[in-house]
Structure 1
Amino acid sequence: MTTDPRYNYNIGTEITLLDRTMSVANVTENGYSMVSVEDGTTMVVTFSRLIECLKLPGAKINSALATTGDRLRYRLRGYASVKALKNPEQRALARYHLAMCKAVDIYVAMRREDDPKFKPSGRSLNPEKAREFIAKQTSLLLGERVRVKPQRGGEKSKDRILYRGRTINEYYQRYKALDHSEGAEEALVPLIHMRGNRKPRLCPRIRELMTEAWEKIGLDKKKTSVANVHAYLKTLIHKENLFRRLNDLPDFVTPAEKTLQQHRDTLVTETEFLIATNGQRETRRNRGRGSKDVRALAIGEWCGMDENKFSMVVSMKKAGLWSKLSEDEKAIVQKVDEYIRKRLHILILYDVASRMPLAWIITENPNSDATLALLRMATRDKTREQRRYGCQKEPARGCGILYLRNDNGTGLRNAKVIEALTGMGTINGITRTFHPEDRASDERIFGTLESRFFKLMPGYTGRRPGELPGYDAILNGVVDVETLYAMLTRYLVDEYPFERHYGVGMGGRRPWDVYQEINKSRGQVGLQDPNVRRIQLGWEVSATPSDEGVRVFGGIWFNSDALQETRDQQFFKGKVQVFVDPDNLNIATVLMPGYHDPIEVHLQMTVFADMTIGEVLQLMAEYRREDPETTEIYQDHLMQVKSRRFAEISSIGVEHDLPRSYTTIEECQALAKTIFAGARVIRTETLSGTTAPNDITNLTSGTGVFQIGGGSSVIDGVVADGPEETAGDMTNPAENPAVSGAQLPSITQVEAERPELRKGKASSQSEKLARPKNLKELK
């Protein structure tokens, strides 16, 4: 059981809880009986409830009102402490008076050792020895030199001069009369802040005219100056003076511009004045407060992403070529430089917990492709950049992104990027427009780059137009994009992580040390599945799979056993979707319609292993690059040998009188007219002594078809009642001499008999067909 403390507050103590001021009336067994100061409502606050409310913001306890009536606050006209006074000299005098009173305490204690009845007074504290002792002790307590008399001669000294005995005694008696709960400095401080004439020097009518001038002229979006308002005030006072002269009243004197500005400060605050002149949006952007809290504890838990324009001219020309160019060429290069300067942007993604940069991209246009490239770099290993650009330290490793905060840039907030982040399971947070306080740490990294990196580069243009009037940024813009990216990479890997960082939660630590500490203690957000990462952030290509795999980008082949097995099992015909990581071509992902799982395919061309698509295209460009003169020589050579080959082919045909295997255009046109003219093509007749293949099995006799034997045809026979056939019933036409070529009927005779045979066929169609009789075994 927890014991709740019971505080002994004096009756009349004011306690403010939840923005409600109450006065303690009594302490009961259940709690504190309190009376509301505003409406006199009586309530009982339990002991535990009071403890919980005192922990909340806004809780106040004023116990001085019950003991001393809070007299010191009334003495200072509302100030609760000397430290709240504006005048530093007034605060220094309060410390000096307190040290002097403590020194008098020491002097009185020393005197009472010899004379117990000693009482301090103006006369007893005024002797030279007493004042010298008090001055010496005051110097020791205050830490400043205190003199008894002003120093004679020389420059004016800052040493303090001790008061006379009567003044010392006045401050000492006030010091001794204090309650133990009251502050000594508040009682001993001189009321310098209340000196002077507090009455207004301007009459109410002039103040009304000044207010009217500020409302009509001063509080305007055009940002009129105090001089403009003062000029309008003169016209108002002139009209007022004309009216006063009619009534024999003295003229008003126009106040000075400083008085007019002070009157504005009494009308509106600085924030209200900025809203009136700059607008609410710009005022919120400049004076809005940000968060001073530690936003993330793990690497990748909270990341920031932002884009910014270069503050320097980046040129495609090399140093030293400018002097060799003509005036026209210089003008053209300047236009190109201006275009490049306007188009180049830098995109940075960094970790909030460690302040380590995770990815950086230089692009002409801040579009979705550049943002996806930035996300790919943040979620992959950056050893390639480390080796390529000669970094001495290790960059931040790839990690997952749990929450990503970005602004309303066109390249950061678009459907393609948001879809990719959602597919990877990343929470996408879009901050408010014109609210840099929402992403103060994101904006700060660009300020550091501006002051420590870009400002030292040749071609720096300054933070604002006209900042460097004597420096020609275009003339000095000789750094190309590749060199700039290499230097930027080395800065973000070797320099920035090892400089002290004084941001919120960093405390002067170095980002690399914080990165190592978090990695050991709390770890990093896990990486996404490689297939999911390629599908969401990679490049998508449609391809038709074959036995060789899939081909993308014109000549890069991918294949795997899983792809071929799935293709055979699914009987797939058509195109598949291939997702390739442009930064790593070793593995790609294939999605086959109708198949539920992604399929991994491997690079088949080892020459492209561990290369990016950009490097592959650059390599192919190097392969195809050729001197124009060499190309012309090779082209002439090829045309010569091809012409010789065609001439040789034609001569062979002429020498051997070979038939022509080609058709001329005139012949093709003549055949086309014949085909499409609507004429019926007559079939050619059967050659003499031949039979069409479909007439051989015809039951009727025809041209080239002869009937064997005088009886009925085999297929026209009737089924016999019993086995009566004998071996002699079947004769071999080859062995029967009666059947000879001379005895064969002629074609004319067969044609004459054809109608009768047709009638016999029609009459025998209703009979059953039987097997042939007297079949002889073939030898």
Structure 2
Amino acid sequence: MTMEPHYNFQPGTEITLLERPMVVTGQVDNGYRVVGREDGITTVLPFGKLVEQLKLPGAKVDTSLPTTGGRLQQRLGGYATSQALTDEQREYGRFHFAFCQAMLAYRTKIRTENGDPKFELSDRIAGRPEARRFIASVAEQIFGQKILINPGRGGRSKGMYLYQGRTLMKYFRTFESLEPDEAPIDALITLDHLRGNRTSRICNRLRVLMTAAWEEHGLDLKCPPVSNIHKALTANIWQENQKRIANELPELIVPSPRTLREHRDIILTPTEHLIGTKGERQARNERGRGSTDLRALLIGELVEVDECKISLVSSAKEAGFWEKMSVDDKVALEELDTYIKSRFWILVMLDVASRMPLAWVIAENPNSDATLALFRMATRDKTSEKMRYGCSGQPAAAVGLMHVKNDNGTGLRNSATIGALMGTESINTVARTYSPTDKAVVERFFGTLEMNIFKMLPGYTGGRPGELPGYDAKANGVLTVEQLHEIVTKYFIDEYPSTQHYGVGMGGRRPFEVYKSINETRGQIPPIDPHKRRIHLGWEEDVTPTDEGVRVFQGIWFNSDDLQEKREEYRVKGKVKVFIDPGNVNIATVILPGAKEPVEVHLQITAFADMTLPEILKLMAEQRREDPQVTAFHDDIVMRTRLQRYEQIKAIGVEHNLPRSYSTIAECKAMAKAVFAGARVVRSIAQADTTLPGEIAHLEPSRGVYPIGGDEMLIDGVAVPTDAVSFPAPEKTAPRTPSNSNSKSTKAQLRGKQKTSNTTLPRPQNLKDLE
């Protein structure tokens, strides 16, 4: 059983619970009888309920009110404690308390020496030299500073000097009259803050005019200065004085600009004035409250991402952007400057729990590609950057992203970025527009980065327009993007994690030490699955698989036994999707149509191992790039060789009388016209054992007609009657070509014939050579 405490509150004790002030009037069996100060309602506050509500914020208990009536608060002019007063007043309060205790010790000493327990100090006794010396020596030990017995001559001395007896006794009597629960310094402190004439010397009508001037002219988004409002107020006072002169009233005096500004501070708070002159959005940024809570406990539990334009002019010609430009752009830009100089963007991801940089990217423009590269860098190992730039520190390891907080930047607020985070099962939070307190960690980091790095580099443009009027940032912008990336990488790996951090939850510890401590105690968010990471954060290619695997980016081959087995199993036809991590091309992921699980493939070209995809593409481009003169030389050799080969082939065809294997344009047009007309072209076939019309009596050889004999002469003879001679039926023999044993003239005639047919007549038989 839990015991409930019963507090002995005196009647008149004031208690404030849940913003309701109450006064205790007595105690009953089950609680306290209280009366509300504002409503006058009497209620009973149970013992247990009081204990629970005293733990809540805003609870107050004033037990000194029944005995003292709050006299010390009244003495201080409404201040509940002297801690709200100036340091000088509180120093005098401690000094008064020190010599009061010294006087108490002196009285005890005198009582002991004289054996008079009723001995009391007086103004004369306290002013004696021996008493002042004793009080000063004891008070010095309590106060901690030198106390002078007599004030120095000429001006104000630095130390405290002891008062005379009457003043000492005044403070001592006040000290002795205090109750045990009253603060002695509150009773002995000086009341310098209440000095002076508190009566206003400005009449109410003039204050009304000053208020009207601020309402009509001062609370403007154009932010007019106090001098403009003062001029408007002067005109209004002149107009008011004209009426007062007519009514024989005293004229109003024009107040000074300082009085006008102090009147503004009376009627408006700084936040209200900021809203009236710069708008609610700017007021929220400047006066908004940040977070003083530990927002994350694990590494990767909460990361903040932001993008910022670098206040630095860099050269982009040597950074790979020159090759991507068109010829017209190159000509136009070369006419303006030898280098292409512009300001780039930097994207940074910070771990909130440890303040360690997880990723950083320098981009020409903020877009989804740059943001995805930032996510890939945060979720992979960064040893390559460490080895490339010779860093001695240890970068953050690959970690999963549980909660990503970004803003409405163009590179962060797009479907590709948000879709990638959803695919990796990360929580995405978009901060409010123009609300830097939503991402206070990474927003403040950019100021530190600019102060420590960019401000010292050549080509710095300044934090705002016109900040460096005598410095030509464009003329001094000689840094390349690669050099800038090297400087930033060394800062993120070597310098920043090893510097003391005084942010919320850091306490002056170094980010790397906090990173190690969290890693050993609470751990990190598990990394993303490699296939899922490549699918949602990598680059995608649609290619056709072959027996050699898949080829991406016109020359990078991947293959594996699993790919070939599933390609056979699922009868894959057509293209498949290949996903590659540009930072590590040793392994890729292939999605096959119909396959339930992704397939892992490995790089087949060992020369590209452990290289990034941009490095491979750059290497391939360098291999293909050659001197224009070398290109012209080899092109000349190739073209000359091709022309010679074509001429040789043509000569061989003419020499051997080879039929054409091609058609002319006119022939193609004629055939096409027949096809479009719906006619069918049928090739005519000559009948066997016939000759062409008109060639029967020709003496020169033709189809089916051959010369008889070895020389050119007529054949004379007598025809034999057909009934006296019987001829056997000729045998059907295949057509034969003339023998090569003919004379040269015959060969010439055969070579010069105009037209031949595919079918020839048989050679005559049983002919006698007539002489």
**Structure 1 CA distance for aligned equivalents of residues 179 and 199 of structure 2:** 35
Aligned twin of 1:728: none
Structure 1, unaligned runs of 5 or more: 319-327, 690-740, 743-779
Q: Partners of 1:8 and 1:517 in 2: how far apart?
A: 48
Aligned with 1:310: secondary structure?
A: strand
The equivalent residue for 2:273 is 273
Quote the residue 1:94 is aligned against. 93
Query: Match for residue 633 of structure 2?
Result: 633
The code of the aligned residue for 2:92 comes to: L
**Structure 1 residues 681, 119: CA separation in 2 closer, same or farther (over 3 Å shift)?**
closer
Deviation at 1:61, TM superposition (A): 0.6
Whole-angstrom CA distance in 2 between matches of 1:674 and 1:24: 118
> Where in structure 2 are the equivalents of 1:698-777 lying within 5 Å?
none
Specify whether residues 375 and 619 from structure 1 end up closer, same or farther in structure 2 by C-alpha distance, changes over 3 A only. Answer: same
Q: Would the alpha carbon gap of residues 187 and 585 (structure 1) be closer, same or farther in structure 2, given more than 3 Å must change?
A: same
Deviations 1:685-713 (A, max 9, x none): 89889xxxxxxxxxxxxxxxxxxxxxxxx
1:160-171 aligned at under 5 Å gives the runs: 160-171=160-171
CA distance in structure 2 between the aligned counterparts of 1:175 and 1:682, rounded to whole angstroms: 137
1:665 corresponds to which residue? 665
Equivalent position SS for 2:50 = helix
Distance in 1 (CA, whole Å) between partners of 2:678 and 2:684 is 19
| Higher mean C-alpha deviation, range 123-132 or range 206-215 | 123-132
Which 4+ runs in 1 deviate beyond 4 A? 328-331, 680-689
1:34 paired with 2:34, answer yes
> Could you tell me how far 1:301 is from its partner in structure 2?
0.8
**For residues 334 and 685 of structure 1, what CA distance do their matches in structure 2 show?**
76
Given that 2:379 and 2:399 are in contact with CA atoms closer than 8 Å, whether structure 1 keeps it comes out as: yes
**Equivalences for residues 236-315 of structure 1 within 5 A:** 236-315=236-315
Kindly indicate whether the alpha-carbon contact (under 8 Å) linking 1:334 and 1:474 is maintained by their aligned counterparts in 2.
Answer: no
1:658 Cα offset (Å): 2.3
1:580-606 C-alpha deviation (Å, 9 max, x unpaired): 211122222222233322222222222
Q: How many Å separate the matches in 2 of 1:552 and 1:100? A: 89
1:541 counterpart SS class: strand
Q: 2:336 aligns with which of 321, 326, 332?
A: 332
CA deviation digits over 1:186-237, x for unaligned, max 9?
1112322222212110111111111111111111111111111111111111
Corresponding residue SS for 2:380: coil
Match of 1:454 in 2: 454
Cα deviations by residue, 1:742-777 (Å, 9 ceiling, x for unpaired): 9xxxxxxxxxxxxxxxxxxxxxxxxxxxxxxxxxxx
SS of the aligned residue for 1:311 comes to: strand
Which residue is equivalent to 2:533? 533
**Residue aligning to 2:736:** none
1:192 corresponds to: 192
User: Given the two structures, how large is their TM-score scaled by the length of structure 1?
Assistant: 0.83
Residues 678, 422 of structure 1: alpha-carbon distance in 2 compared, 3 angstrom cutoff: closer
Q: How many residues align?
A: 676
Distance between the aligned counterparts of 2:275 and 2:74, measured in 1? 36
Give the SS at the match of 1:588: strand
| Aligned residue type for 1:185 | I
Offset at residue 329 of structure 1 (A):
8.8
Q: Quote how far apart the aligned CAs of 1:156 are.
A: 4.2
Deviation at 1:399, TM superposition (A): 0.8
Partner residue, 2:139: 138
1:570, distance to aligned residue in structure 2 (A): 2.3
Cα distance in 2 between the residues matched to 1:526 and 1:43:
57
For 1:61, the equivalent position in structure 2 comes to: 61
> Any conservation in 2 of the 1:290–1:440 contact (CA below 8 Å)?
yes
Q: Which amino acid aligns with 2:161?
A: I
User: Which residue is equivalent to 1:427?
Assistant: 427
What whole-Å deviation, never above 9, does each CA across 1:272-307 have from its counterpart, x for those lacking one?
A: 000100111100011100111111111111111110
Aligned pairs for 1:410-421 (under 5 A) are 410-421=410-421
Question: Secondary structure at the residue paired with 1:458?
Answer: coil
Deviations 1:43-64 (CA, angstroms, capped at 9, x unpaired): 2223222222111110101011
- CA distance in 1: counterparts of 2:158 and 2:676, whole angstroms: 122
Cα RMSD of the aligned pairs, angstroms, is 2.2
Shift of 1:545: 2.3
Larger CA deviation: 250-259 vs 25-34: 25-34
Q: Deviations over 1:654-710 (max 9, x none)?
A: 232322222222332233334444445458689889xxxxxxxxxxxxxxxxxxxxx
Q: Secondary structure at the match of 1:365?
A: coil
SS at match of 1:589: strand
Q: How high is the sequence identity, in percent, across the aligned residues?
A: 53
1:305 partner SS: strand
Report what 1:602 is aligned to.
602
Note if contact 1:317-1:478 (Cα within 8 Å) is conserved in structure 2: no
* Corresponding residue number in structure 2 for 1:48: 48
1-structure distance, mates of 2:423, 2:334 = 49
Paired with 2:188 and 2:334, the residues of 1 have a C-alpha distance of 76
Matching residue of 2:125: 124
Change (3 A) 1:563 1:329: closer
Cα distance in 2 between the residues matched to 1:331 and 1:20:
77
Change in CA separation of 1:669 and 1:317 when aligned onto 2, cut-off 3 Å: closer
Contact 2:317–2:339 under 8 Å retained in 1: no
Matching of residue 465 in structure 1 with residue 465 in structure 2: yes
Deviation at 1:137, TM superposition (A): 2.2
| Structure 2: distance between partners of 1:451 and 1:523 | 32
Structure 2 partner of 1:773? none
Report deviation, 1:437: 1.0
Paired with 2:610 and 2:317, the residues of 1 have a C-alpha distance of 31
Q: Give the secondary-structure state (helix, strand or coil) at the position aligned to 2:314.
A: coil
CA contact 1:316–1:478 (8 Å) conserved in 2: no
Match of 2:104 in 1: 105
- Whole-angstrom distance in 1 between the partners of 2:217 and 2:59: 44
Q: Is the 8 A contact 2:316 2:339 kept in 1?
A: no
Alpha-carbon distance between aligned partners in 1 of 2:273 and 2:380, rounded to the nearest angstrom = 50
Q: Deviations over 1:592-635 (max 9, x none)?
A: 23332222222222222222221111111111111111111111
Which range is displaced more, 212-221 or 585-594? 585-594
**One-letter identity of the residue aligned with 2:260:** L
* Distance across 2 between alignment mates of 1:684 and 1:316: 73
The verdict on how the C-alpha distance between 1:435 and 1:643 changes in structure 2, with shifts beyond 3 A counting, is: same
Indicate conservation of the 8 Å contact 2:317/2:340, yes or no.
no
Structure 2 equivalent of residue 588 of structure 1: 588
SS at match of 2:33: strand
**1:335 offset after TM fit, Å?**
8.8
Partners of 2:462 and 2:175 in 1: CA distance: 60
TM-fit CA distance, 1:440: 0.9
* Segment drifting more, 354-363 vs 580-589: 580-589
2: CA distance, partners of 1:412 / 1:50: 51
Distance 1:334 1:644 in 2: 45
Residue of structure 1 equivalent to 2:206: 206
Per mean C-alpha deviation after superposition, the further-off stretch among 131-140 and 522-531 is: 131-140
Aligned counterpart, 1:733: none
Kindly indicate whether the alpha-carbon contact (under 8 Å) linking 2:217 and 2:229 is maintained by their aligned counterparts in 1: yes
Q: Which runs of 5+ in 2 are unaligned?
A: 319-331, 690-727, 730-771
1:7-66 alpha-carbon deviations (Å, 9 max, x no partner): 222221111111111122223332222222222222222322222211111010101111
Post-superposition offset of 1:636: 1.1
Give the deviation of 1:488 after TM superposition: 1.2
Q: Report the TM-score when normalising by structure 2.
A: 0.84
Give distance in 2, aligned partners of 1:648 and 1:227. Answer: 97
Provide the C-alpha distance between the structure 2 equivalents of 1:676 and 1:150, rounded to a whole number of angstroms: 128
Aligned residue for 1:325? Answer: none
> Partner of 1:279: helix, strand, or coil?
helix
Distance 1:142 1:683 in 2: 131
Structure 2: distance between partners of 1:618 and 1:562: 30
Q: Could you say which residue in structure 1 is the equivalent of 2:77? A: 77
2:315 touches 2:339 (CA, 8 Å); kept in 1?
no
1:151 partner amino acid = G
- Alpha-carbon separation, structure 2, partners of 1:659 and 1:159: 126
Could you give the per-residue CA deviations for residues 366-404 of structure 1, whole angstroms, max 9, x where no partner exists?
111110111011111112212222222221111101001
Q: Look up the SS of the partner of 2:482 in the other structure.
A: helix
Question: How much has 1:331 moved relative to structure 2?
Answer: 7.3
| CA distance 1:517–1:652, shift in 2 (3 Å) | same
Give me the whole-angstrom Cα distance separating, in 1, the residues matched to 2:552 and 2:152.
95
Letter in 1 for 2:538: G
Kept after mapping to 2: 8 A contact 1:317/1:479: no
Q: 1:660 to 1:623 in 2, by over 3 A?
A: same
